[in-house]
């Protein structure tokens, strides 16, 4: 059985006190949820306090990124080991904003995946095409290339601890969601691509999340697809009611 996951990517939003307020609201409203794993990825400053508040609740903490080095003189960076020590169990890697604004390549993301796995953190690995690629009908080719590059030399044993997020870049923060058919078609393609690398057991077991303007009004029809196992939520995760309503959409 694949895990249902709803993960909130707060991006660069919320001060410390605003973040604590939001975490407490989410914790209070999340109590009845049983069949879905909730994950929140606040900015780093909140990770340890959020992990403390969410202890023994059905909520795990994630980093939004980590360094591509183990430790040392990398001013401003945060390592996988530090994240783990602050209470995170997941890390979002390869988000399109990291790719676009910080020039992250599949090779860099591959290094980060390895460092996370070595530190017992589960990477939520993002892929997805930009609008021009979809319009040129290159979206399958682009996503296949990202997957192959990011999972280079990752063993089958290690791959068991991976979550994938498909996030069409044209749908992120734009209010323009992929249709349920577009999401299902790409999720199935990703599962087939994984099957070709790792075999059917692992491809059947990997959770593939959809991200890009997912909200309470469209989550149900997106999650109803057989290959959509949850969502990576940006904007709507900043509101506790919306985030929990999305998690209740299975
Ligand atoms: P959005 O962001 O839900 O605001 O579109 C999703 C994401 O970037 O993970």
Query: Taking the CA of residue 24 as centre, how many other CA atoms within 13 Å lie in the half-sphere pointing to its CB?
Result: 6
Domain residue spans of the chain: 5-247
Q: What is the mean pLDDT of the segment spanning 141-151?
A: 98
The C-alpha angle 170, 172, 175, rounded to 5 degrees, equals 90
DSSP single-letter state for residue 225: S
* Residue 54, ligand 1, Cβ within 6 A: no
Q: In this predicted model, what pLDDT tens digit does every residue of 167-201 receive, in sequence order?
A: 999 999 888 889 999 999 999 999 999 999 999 99
pLDDT of 6 over the 90 cut: yes
CATH for 5-247 is 3.20.20.70
* Residue 41, ligand 1, Cβ within 6 A: no
| Mean pLDDT score across all residues of the chain | 97
CA distance readout (Å), 173 to 9, 16, 77, 96, 208: 12, 23, 26, 12, 20
Name the pLDDT band for 164 (thresholds 50, 70, 90).
Answer: very high
The C-alpha angle 217, 214, 232, rounded to 5 degrees, equals 140
d(C-alpha 127, C-alpha 167), whole Å: 6
Name the pLDDT band for 55 (thresholds 50, 70, 90).
Answer: very high
Nearest CA to ligand 1 atom 1: 234
Please choose, from the candidates 63, 48, 54, 67, the residue with its C-alpha nearest in 3D space to the C-alpha of residue 10: 63
CB 143 within 8 A of CB 129: yes
Q: Is 32 exposed, middle or buried (0-12, 13-18, 19+ CB in 10 A)?
A: exposed
Please choose, from the candidates 232, 189, 193, the residue with its C-alpha nearest in 3D space to the C-alpha of residue 96: 232
* Residue 233, ligand 1, Cβ within 6 A: yes
Please choose, from the candidates 64, 56, 5, the residue with its C-alpha nearest in 3D space to the C-alpha of residue 27: 56
222, two tokens:
């997106």
d(C-alpha 225, C-alpha 242), whole Å: 20
Q: Where in the sequence numbering do the catalytic residues fall?
A: 95, 167
pLDDT of 1 over the 80 cut: no
pLDDT of 32 over the 80 cut: no
pTM value? 0.97
Q: What is the mean pLDDT of the segment spanning 92-96?
A: 98
d(C-alpha 193, C-alpha 61), whole Å: 28
């Amino acid at each position: 059985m694949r895990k249902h996951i709803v993960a909130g990517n707060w991006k660069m939003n919320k001060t410390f006190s605003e973040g604590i307020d939001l975490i407490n609201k989410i914790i209070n409203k999340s109590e009845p949820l049983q069949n879905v794993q909730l994950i929140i990825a606040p900015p780093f400053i909140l990770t340890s306090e959020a992990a403390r508040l969410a202890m023994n609740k059905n909520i795990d903490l994630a980093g939004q990124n980590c360094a591509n080095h183990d430790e040392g003189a990398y001013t401003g960076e945060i390592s996988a080991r530090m994240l783990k020590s602050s209470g995170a169990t997941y890390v979002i890697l390869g988000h399109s904003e990291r790719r676009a604004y910080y020039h992250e390549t599949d090779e860099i993301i591959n290094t980060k995946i390895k460092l996370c796995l070595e530190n017992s953190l589960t990477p939520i690995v993002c892929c997805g095409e930009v609008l021009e690629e979809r319009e040129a009908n290159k979206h399958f080719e682009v996503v296949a290339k990202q997957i192959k590059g990011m999972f280079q030399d990752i063993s089958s044993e290690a791959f068991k601890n991976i979550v994938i997020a498909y996030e069409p870049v044209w749908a992120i923060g734009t209010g323009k969601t992929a249709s349920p058919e577009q999401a299902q078609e790409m999720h199935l393609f990703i599962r087939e691509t994984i099957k070709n690398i790792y075999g059917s057991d692992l491809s059947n077991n990997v959770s593939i999340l959809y991200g890009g303007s997912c909200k309470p009004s469209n989550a149900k029809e997106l999650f109803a697809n057989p290959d959509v196992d949850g969502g990576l939520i940006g904007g709507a995760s900043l509101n506790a009611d919306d985030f929990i309503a999305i998690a209740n959409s299975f």
